[in-house]
Structure 1
Amino acid sequence: MNESDVSRVLAEAVIEAVLDTPGVAFLRPGLVDLLRSSALWRRGLPSTPAGSAGVQVRRRKDTQDWSVEVYVVLHRGRRALDVTREVRSAAAKAVERVTGERVTGERAAPAQIAVTVTGLV
């Protein structure tokens, strides 16, 4: 499996884990996702979940570790800090499943995971 395939599989695993986290309403959609959803809706086809802008996975050039950025919109009524910690934990477990390496404490091995809350609904 080449790096592009691993990146795609890793992103899909993180997306699934994040969307299963209580308190997460949805991933931040990007312009491409919004346009694709609109075009599919007009054709009567089911839209695919918007996730490409909500989860970005890259290989860090300096360390060769993975960099995972998650952008979420949360439900009101839960502490954002608690939900973001759960999202980070879920993303770390997804990275561990895909790469087979454990994500530990402050050290970014094999991934650095950042979670940003972009809104509340």
Structure 2
Amino acid sequence: MSERDVSRVVANAVIEAVLDTPGVAFLRPGLADLLRSSALLRRGLPSTPAGSAGVQVRREKPGGDWSVEVYVVLHRGRRTLDVTREVRAAAAEAVGLVTGEPATGEPGTPRITVTVTGLV
């Protein structure tokens, strides 16, 4: 499996884990996701959940550490700090399950960044 394919599998696992986290409304949609959703709505077709722009996964170098950036919109009513900690833990666990690398915070483990882009 190529590095790009592995990155895609890791990203999909992180997306699922983040969306399953209580307090997360949705991932930040990118421009392409917004345009695709708009076109589907005009045709009367159900839109698919946007999320690819909300999770960015890369490796610093082949065999290096994973870097994951997550951009989320959260529901009001829960403490933002608690939800972002849960999102970070869920993303780290998802990366570990796919790659077999531990999510312990030690060198050689994924670097997870969570950015809250809004509240609904």
Scaled by the length of structure 2, the TM-score of the pair is 0.94
Identify the residue that residue 81 of structure 2 maps to in structure 1: 81
Identify the residue that residue 98 of structure 1 maps to in structure 2: 98
Identify the residue that residue 114 of structure 2 maps to in structure 1: 115
Secondary structure class of the residue paired with 1:88: helix
- Say how many residue pairs are matched: 120
TM-superposed deviation, 1:72: 0.4
For the Cα contact (< 8 Å) 1:103–1:109, is it kept in 2?
Answer: no
Task: Indicate the percent of aligned positions where both proteins have the same amino acid.
Answer: 80
CA 62–6 in structure 1, closer or farther in 2 if over 3 Å, else same? closer
Identify the residue that residue 57 of structure 1 maps to in structure 2: 57
Q: Distance in 1 between matches of 2:75 and 2:69?
A: 19
TM-superposed deviation, 1:99: 0.1
CA 109–23 in structure 1, closer or farther in 2 if over 3 Å, else same? same
Q: Distance in 1 between matches of 2:81 and 2:107?
A: 20
TM-superposed deviation, 1:44: 2.5
Q: Distance in 1 between matches of 2:11 and 2:107?
A: 17
TM-superposed deviation, 1:49: 1.3
Identify the residue that residue 13 of structure 1 maps to in structure 2: 13
Aligned pairs for 1:24-43 within 5 A = 24-43=24-43
Deviations 1:63-96 (A, max 9, x none): 7111100000000111100000000010011001
Q: Distance in 2 between matches of 1:31 and 1:108?
A: 35
Identify the residue that residue 48 of structure 1 maps to in structure 2: 48
Q: Distance in 1 between matches of 2:66 and 2:13?
A: 14
Q: Distance in 2 between matches of 1:117 and 1:57?
A: 17
TM-superposed deviation, 1:110: 3.0
Q: Distance in 2 between matches of 1:108 and 1:33?
A: 34
Q: Distance in 2 between matches of 1:62 and 1:12?
A: 20
Scaled by the length of structure 1, the TM-score of the pair is 0.93
